[in-house]
Structure 1
Amino acid sequence: MNQADTAPRVCLCLPTNRACSATLTAIHDEAAYAARRFGADVQLLILDSSDDRTRAEHARVVAGLPTVPRVSVHHLGEEPQRDFLCRVIRAAGLPEPDRLLRLMLPPAVSYGACTNRAFLLAAALGCRSVHRRDSDSTYQLHAGRPVFPVHHELPWLGRPAAEAAAGVTRTDLDATRADRPVSLAGASFIGELSVDIGEIRRLDEGVHHDVVSLWAPADWPQERKRDLVGESFTGAGTAPFTVDHSTLTLVDPMRVDMCNVAFDHAVYERIPLPPATDTIGSDYFLLHLIHDAGLPGILHNRHIENFHTPERRTDTGFPAYQRRFVKFLLSMLYFHHVYARMAAEGDRLLDETGHVRPDAITGFLRESTRLDRAENMWRLDRVDTAYRKLGGRYSAFAGRLAEERGRLLDQAEQDIADFAHLVEAWPALVRTARTTALGPGDGPA
């Protein structure tokens, strides 16, 4: 049997809705590195929600990429993605198919939904893991060469932690978990804040503290909130990569960014990400779940370099982005409840085979939708006061926020109900995706 027959098939994924030709070339280089160094069969999946002109330019770039052994490139616009999803949903025979399609491919920006599509497409491609990158980030360079995160992701995902212990710099994992599979490998970023609110901090540090602290549970003491504000959205700081360091551990969700993460299929094929629209941070749920369930991970230091695209600061981009930030703050009412329940459940989140229990997650989500909204009304009041204090376009945004108040409160709750619905449908979607071709003209997946 040759190497190609035994090579692990993995999905290196780039969701994008913006021009990113340089990133396409760079991620193809990472795919080539993974194939060359580890003998992996790499399915490079580009999920392109860009406008027609940008997507056409991306297609030109992809067509010009060099052919690399064991690297296959799939560049899918939204229409091919929609076709795939329609075929999966129809074949799965689930109720409310239109609702499921909307949750998987919503008309608005959804960080979770684009990754959920990658999960299903990876299942169709027969992949054992998904490795996600972002289009507004790039690889660091060291000694003139790119620092690829896949270097730490590929060797150990899905293998028992006891085996991975020999290949990391240090181990910080209870021996009772040594037989569990490595379910996550990730790092963070250096450079600009992951959330584009640096201008708020420059304008008024007090307002910055007031706003950012709103993502903490309301009953936290002030000192703990100050600590959270100090480390929020800062990633790994600004120090560049110099030498590899990796830790086998229960990975702290605060130490990993979704632009630099890989998941084993045993997790994402059981639980999807929240499909909330216009909500930053809505794609971090699996990081919390893996940690609280006691599933091992590898935390490394091949951090990606983050940058902000100028669109977020334009007259149209600014209010849209700020709204996503406010919806993130409102989502915390529900997610803090779910995270607390998951942390208390611990190992009981796993079934007798060691896999995550979807029924436990749906139960916690539905519980959270019965929470009193008073805390979120308080959050909106605090945002209104803070933004009006900043003046200018922040004050104007506060006015728009006041008009949307009721709608935002409803949407934040509905997002959680939709997530519970998707979790219930997910096993059937994954099973069906495994036997569904990417395109109607393809052969069996």
Structure 2
Amino acid sequence: MRRRICLTLPTNRACAGTIAATGAEAAHAARAFDVEVHLLILDSADGPTYDEHAKAVAALPATEHVVVHHLDEDAQRAFLWDVIVRSELPDAEHLLELMLPDAVSYGACTNRAFLIAAALGCTSVHRRDSDSRYQLLDGEPVFPVDHELATLGRRAADAAGSVTGNTLDPAHADKPVSLVGASFIGELSVDIGEMREADPDVHREVVGLWAPTGATEEERRELVAESFAGAGSEPFTHDRAVLDLPDIWRVDMCNIALDHEVYERVPLPPATATIGSDYFLLHLVRDATLPGVVHNRHIVNYYTPERRTGAGFTAYQLRFAKFLLSMLYLYPVYSEMEAAGDALLDAGHRVRADVIADAARRSAATDRAENHRRLAVLDRCYRQLGSKYAEFADHLAPLRADLLDEAQADIEDFALLTDAWGPLVRASRATPADRLPC
């Protein structure tokens, strides 16, 4: 029986071209590997855009061992509600809200993919993004799935022959490869390039707010230099793939595959309107000393125009501000995970979800002083930039108290969802065939 994998594309914007390109990657994976590919398009776009996506799905060539699922939010909600009810967990309405909120949530959309993948019997999730394209080599697309399927889920010692470099400590050789990923080339992953061009000093100060409380100036400078740049602009010419504890600074969520033993144990934080909320599992894999493969089949990143003007600019900058505030609560969890190391794993190299939930609950009590400072610095810097940034500062000012409360509530919700995740995954796995999303 062929192993099932889930290649997922969450979207809330027009991306018919990306659907066609991801469909081609699915077909390639089915032809090149002994897998059944479930191409899962989680579509939160408006009605007319959904219809255009449906046409793009209908135009995909029929390929043996490729099954396409194109789900609007109504279909996703029906599936989730069925799973939540069968899990018999309390506060079902709140769980549904965490899984499918009214606002944009990078973590929640990927969590939906995780549960649907479990229902479909998939052993891995491979995520792409709607604002991404594949590189070409000699006119042919360079698909990340080749590296992902060559190594993911295999014992590290056995996967070593499928990479170009192996720097993994032999002490981890019996553990499974739990993450395979690369980055992107092209524009910054976070739309702050205009800020950097307008005033590099302001850019450094704003991005430096990402650093943990107590970071030195040198640590802040290093963070700013690494932030959001991806793999630069060097085009793909030949394969490089390194087996080690993964360098998560070289991996982005537009270009990643995770083994089910990771995402079926711990979800992503379901924070709304917060960029970066979907990166938690990268930290978990590395800190838990699980092996990964980092390769160089980088995605091409581009921006959709709405990020830079009007309401789109305001919405995106708010997501960036909430990302900075989320760090107050995530850094304590990261610190606990790093200190725990492989104590995060049980005897079977599986992540202990209770440790993560407990750390998240403790971090919710972190003093808010640093977040008050972050908001003050943002206000000053955005007003210094002037123009649309000053207008955004005016928009942000009356929201401060609510944003501080939301950042704390987000980590509390993450702890709650982590506690509920095991029953939700088990209910998903037990989904009757006639209720599977199609």
User: Per the shorter chain, which TM-score range?
Assistant: over 0.9
Out of 373, 377, 384, the residue aligned to residue 378 of structure 1 is: 373
Q: How many residues align?
A: 438
Paired with 1:122 and 1:29, the residues of 2 have a C-alpha distance of 20
Paired with 1:35 and 1:431, the residues of 2 have a C-alpha distance of 27
Out of 428, 436, 440, the residue aligned to residue 431 of structure 2 is: 436
- Superposition pairs of residues 177-326 of structure 1, within 5 angstroms: 177-326=172-321
Query: Amino acid of the residue matched to residue 396 of structure 1?
Result: E
2:424 equivalent to 1:393: no
Paired with 1:248 and 1:51, the residues of 2 have a C-alpha distance of 41
Out of 69, 91, 98, the residue aligned to residue 96 of structure 1 is: 91
CA gap 1:356/1:20 in 2 versus in 1, 3 angstroms: same
Q: What residue in structure 1 maps to residue 31 of structure 2?
A: 36
Q: Summarize deviations over 1:79-111 as a string: whole Å, max 9, x none.
A: 000000000000111000000000000000000
Normalising by structure 2, report the TM-score. 0.99
Deviation at 1:399, TM superposition (A): 1.5
2:71 equivalent to 1:71: no
Q: What residue in structure 1 maps to residue 329 of structure 2?
A: 334
- 345-354 or 146-155: bigger deviation: 345-354
Q: What residue in structure 2 maps to residue 83 of structure 1?
A: 78
Give me the identity figure in percent.
61
Paired with 1:215 and 1:228, the residues of 2 have a C-alpha distance of 8
Deviation at 1:438, TM superposition (A): 7.6
Q: Summarize deviations over 1:352-402 as a string: whole Å, max 9, x none.
A: 221100110011101110110000000001101100000111111111211
Contact 1:48–1:55, Cα closer than 8 Å, also in 2: yes
SS in 2 for 1:316: helix
Paired with 1:240 and 1:227, the residues of 2 have a C-alpha distance of 24
Deviation at 1:314, TM superposition (A): 2.2
Out of 120, 134, 140, the residue aligned to residue 129 of structure 2 is: 134
Any stretches of 5+ residues in structure 1 without a counterpart? none
CA gap 1:438/1:130 in 2 versus in 1, 3 angstroms: farther
Paired with 1:188 and 1:437, the residues of 2 have a C-alpha distance of 37
SS in 2 for 1:366: helix
2:3 equivalent to 1:8: yes
Out of 352, 362, 382, the residue aligned to residue 357 of structure 1 is: 352
Out of 46, 53, 57, the residue aligned to residue 48 of structure 2 is: 53
Any stretches of 5+ residues in structure 2 without a counterpart? none
2:404 equivalent to 1:416: no
SS in 2 for 1:241: coil
Query: Amino acid of the residue matched to residue 113 of structure 2?
Result: A
Contact 1:84–1:439, Cα closer than 8 Å, also in 2: no
2:139 equivalent to 1:144: yes
Normalising by structure 1, report the TM-score. 0.97
Q: Summarize deviations over 1:87-142 as a string: whole Å, max 9, x none.
A: 00001110000000000000000000000000000001000000000000100001
Deviation at 1:250, TM superposition (A): 0.6
- 219-228 or 44-53: bigger deviation: 219-228
Contact 1:121–1:438, Cα closer than 8 Å, also in 2: no
Deviation at 1:439, TM superposition (A): 6.5
Contact 1:84–1:438, Cα closer than 8 Å, also in 2: no
Paired with 2:433 and 2:373, the residues of 1 have a C-alpha distance of 46
Deviation at 1:223, TM superposition (A): 1.3
Paired with 1:394 and 1:437, the residues of 2 have a C-alpha distance of 51
SS in 2 for 1:130: strand
Paired with 1:383 and 1:433, the residues of 2 have a C-alpha distance of 42
Query: Amino acid of the residue matched to residue 251 of structure 2?
Result: V
Query: Amino acid of the residue matched to residue 144 of structure 1?
Result: G
Query: Amino acid of the residue matched to residue 151 of structure 1?
Result: D
- Superposition pairs of residues 159-178 of structure 1, within 5 angstroms: 159-178=154-173
Q: Summarize deviations over 1:320-343 as a string: whole Å, max 9, x none.
A: 100000000000011111101100
Paired with 1:439 and 1:86, the residues of 2 have a C-alpha distance of 15
Aligned-residue Cα RMSD (Å) equals 1.1
Deviation at 1:198, TM superposition (A): 0.5
Deviation at 1:8, TM superposition (A): 1.4
Q: Summarize deviations over 1:133-167 as a string: whole Å, max 9, x none.
A: 00001000011000000010002211100001111
Query: Amino acid of the residue matched to residue 269 of structure 1?
Result: E
